[in-house]
Structure 1
Amino acid sequence: MKVTRSFWLGLGSGLILSAMLTLLFSPQQKPSDVQLNPQTALPKNESTKEPDSPPPVQPIESDQKESLPPDPQVSPQIDRDFVIPKGASAEQIADLLFAQELIKDKEAFLAFTRQMRAERRFRAGTFKLSVGLSEEEVIFRLLK
């Protein structure tokens, strides 16, 4: 296929046209509600209703807060210091991480380590790690 100027012109105009059609016929609003220039907008008919606003949020009473279970996605990250001793192998590091509950699966950690060819790239030192990180993210942080 020969790529010419007319090819690029057709491609560009097709993308622009599809973007304009998407704006006009998006499912979020009716085509009649689209206003191209807000300064020249006409007043809406009384027959057109505004969408209902969501009800106001009621604050939770203090006794209700205690009965709700904690949301795992909102829980704060707990940073811990993790020390790699001098001369430690990847298997010893996996054992230490598992013992401190920084990883859930030693075998998955070692598999990622082998896959990334990072078995001998770990250096001794102290690292800040958070509980709940994936094995892959733990490896990336230990290699920094």
Structure 2
Amino acid sequence: MFRNRNFLMGLGIGLMISSFIFMILPTKNQDDFSTKDQSKPLSIQEIKEAANKYGYQLYTKEEIEQIKNKNQTQSQPYKDQGTPISFRIEKGMSTNEIADLLYKQRIIKDKQEFIEILQKQGLVKEIKAGTYSYSPEMTMNDVIVLITNKP
């Protein structure tokens, strides 16, 4: 019994002494967060290199505007040109295939929106196969009426 008591007292005293030592002595990592490289800010080049390292690309505001303008001019529908467009819907084409066809011909701007409108109106099964002529002044709803009401 006394042997066990001496062991437990030694263990307890050892834990108390080690905890006091850890409270008094600072750790190495305490200073890392407060003073680490805060004196010199990163240059733009260093930020770009760090971004490239992780697979990101940084652009200036002017570059972003140029990219936006370029994308808008490329994805403009033919409405601006005023020429009618003919397209053909084959029998058995899925809604996604039709949406892709109309998007590639720049008749619609958003494939997902086109599909959602067809689904909401219950017209997915009502699309008729055939050749259609698209006029530039037609809206997406006009196109839907055109391809679902062909005689």
User: TM range, normalised to the smaller chain?
Assistant: 0.3 to 0.5
Structure having the larger proportion of residues in helix: 2
* Structure of larger gyration radius: 2
